[in-house]
């Protein structure tokens, strides 16, 4: 599919039935949003035709679910979310959709991207296969504790929302109301006012969902999994209460804060130490990890 992604092209023998590919335009987004607002989602092929979109139903579905849906969160993943992803991935593997069910507002695509770009990068730098037990142990023994520590540290900070406007809030200007068929209550759906191809946004661009209770700001080092609501296989509703994930939502976390120091630091690092049967306090000084391996500068 070389050269396809960004060049909207049409199949030569589909003069009349030309299907668009590549990045969505503002007009297309608007069409899709308005159509779904009025008719609801589903039956994507028919939807695409009826909405006047020269896109496949599949493309429409993906655009809606991964980008346009009103409750989609964007921006850096919080430490809570990162930790949850690590834990759930350790539990379920590449079941991105299943993992995403436990992170309200996050899409499987986003989680998948996070894993590939951030987590696997760490594995590469450690010279460990990202799907190996070694790396899993490294994540469990170093990354997760560090994240937990960071969560505890940041939970004590005040969570005053930033006053600055954002690129995203500029991006979202006109609003339309979503038909009840889409949700139990009327909610707003934003129509992009500028080309949506690249939205640079931060977590702070979005309203917090569950920051009302200060008691939620403090997370123990227990597994977040244990704090999950009783979700089994049913699709996660964006409205279910998953307070832990919404905490600290204003914080501008950056996963890059976990980037490793130069690989030279790692050369002498014996990954065979990654044996979680050992007590945390035994196998490595936590400061060492924090300062040299999982560099927390960005936090």
Partner DNA sequence: AAGTTTCTCAACCGCTACGGT
Partner DNA sequence: TACCGTAGCGGTTGAGAAACT
Distance set, CA 271 to CA 41, 120, 138, 139, 173 (Å): 48, 16, 8, 11, 50
Q: Which is nearer to DNA, 34 or 112 (CB)?
A: 112
| 22 near DNA, judged by CB under 7 A | yes
Is residue 279 near DNA by the rule CB under 7 A? no
Binding status of residue 45 toward DNA by CB under 7 A:
yes
Q: Which stretch binds DNA (CB under 7 A): 39-47, 82-90, 178-186, 287-295?
A: 39-47
Exactly one of 159, 179, 199, 266 binds DNA (CB under 7 A); that residue is 199
Considering only the stretches 30-38, 66-74, 212-220, 238-246, report the one whose residues sit in contact with DNA under the rule CB under 7 A: 66-74
Cα distance between residue 293 and residue 269, in whole Å: 9
Q: Of 154-162, 173-181, 197-205, 223-231, which segment contacts DNA by CB under 7 A?
A: 197-205
Residues 6+ apart with CB under 8 A from 11: 17, 18, 19
Residue whose CB is less far from DNA, 234 or 268: 234
Among 1, 15, 185, 222, binds DNA (CB under 7 A): 1
Helices (H), 93-183: 96-100, 108-114, 120-126, 133-138, 144-155, 167-171
Contact between 255 and DNA per CB under 7 A: yes
SS3 call for 277: coil
Q: Does 98 bind DNA (CB under 7 A)?
A: yes
**Burial class of residue 21, CB neighbours in 10 A (0-12, 13-18, 19+):** middle
Question: Considering the complex, what minimum distance in angstroms separates the CB of residue 26 from DNA?
Answer: 11
Alpha carbons 190 and 175: distance in angstroms, whole number? 5
35 binds DNA, rule: CB under 7 A:
no
190 binds DNA (CB under 7 A): no
User: What binding mask, one character per residue, do residues 206-245 give for DNA by CB under 7 A, x or -?
Assistant: ----------------------------------------
Q: Using CB under 7 A, pick the residue from 36, 63, 171, 192 that binds DNA.
A: 63
Q: Are 85 and 110 in contact (CB under 8 A)?
A: no
**What does the CA dihedral 112, 110, 78, 201 come to, rounded to 10 degrees?**
150
* Radius of gyration in angstroms for the set of CA atoms belonging to the chain, rounded to a whole number: 21
66 binds DNA (CB under 7 A): yes
Under the binding rule (CB under 7 A), the answer on residue 108 touching DNA is yes
| Stretch near DNA under the rule CB under 7 A, chosen from 93-101, 217-225, 240-248, 264-272 | 93-101
Q: Nearest distance from residue 22's CB to DNA, in Å? A: 5
Q: Report the residue count for the chain.
A: 299
The CB-based long-range contact list for 122-131 (8 Å cut-off, 24+ gap) reads 122/258, 122/260, 122/294, 125/260, 125/263, 125/266, 126/260, 126/266, 126/269, 126/271, 127/266, 127/271, 128/271, 131/93
Pairwise CA distance, residues 43 & 138, whole Å: 44
Site string for DNA, 111-140 (x = CB under 7 A): -xxx-xxx--x-------------------
Question: Where do contacts with DNA occur on this chain (CB under 7 A)?
Answer: 1-7, 20-24, 42-46, 55-59, 61-63, 66-67, 74, 94-98, 108-110, 112-114, 116-118, 121, 196-200, 255-256
């Amino acid at each position: 599919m070389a050269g396809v992604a960004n060049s909207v092209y049409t199949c030569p023998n589909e003069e009349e039935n030309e299907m668009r590919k590549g990045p969505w335009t503002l007009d297309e987004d608007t069409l899709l949003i308005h159509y779904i607002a009025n008719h609801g989602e589903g039956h994507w092929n028919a939807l695409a035709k009826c909405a006047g979109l020269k896109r496949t139903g599949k493309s429409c579905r993906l655009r809606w679910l991964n980008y346009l849906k009103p409750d989609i969160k964007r921006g850096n993943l919080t430490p809570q979310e990162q930790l949850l992803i690590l834990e759930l991935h350790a539990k379920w593997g590449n079941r991105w959709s299943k993992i995403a069910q436990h992170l309200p507002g996050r899409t499987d695509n986003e989680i998948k991207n996070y894993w590939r770009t951030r987590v696997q990068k760490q594995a590469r730098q450690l010279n460990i296969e990202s799907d190996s037990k070694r790396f899993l142990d490294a994540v469990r023994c170093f990354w997760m504790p560090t994240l937990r520590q960071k969560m505890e540290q940041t939970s004590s900070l005040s969570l005053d929302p930033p006053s600055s406007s954002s690129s995203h809030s500029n991006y979202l200007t006109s609003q339309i109301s979503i038909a009840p068929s889409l949700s139990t209550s009327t909610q707003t759906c934003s129509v992009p006012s500028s080309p949506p191809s690249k939205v640079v946004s931060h977590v702070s661009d979005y309203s917090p969902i569950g920051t009302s209770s200060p008691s939620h700001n403090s997370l123990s080092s227990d597994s977040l999994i244990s704090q999950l609501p009783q979700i089994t296989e049913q699709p996660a509703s964006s409205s279910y209460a998953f307070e832990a994930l919404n905490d600290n939502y204003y914080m501008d976390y950056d996963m890059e804060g976990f980037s490793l120091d130069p690989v030279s630091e790692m050369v002498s690092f014996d990954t065979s130490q990654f044996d979680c049967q050992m007590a945390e306090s035994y196998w490595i000084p936590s400061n060492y990890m924090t300062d040299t391996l999982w560099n927390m500068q960005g936090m």
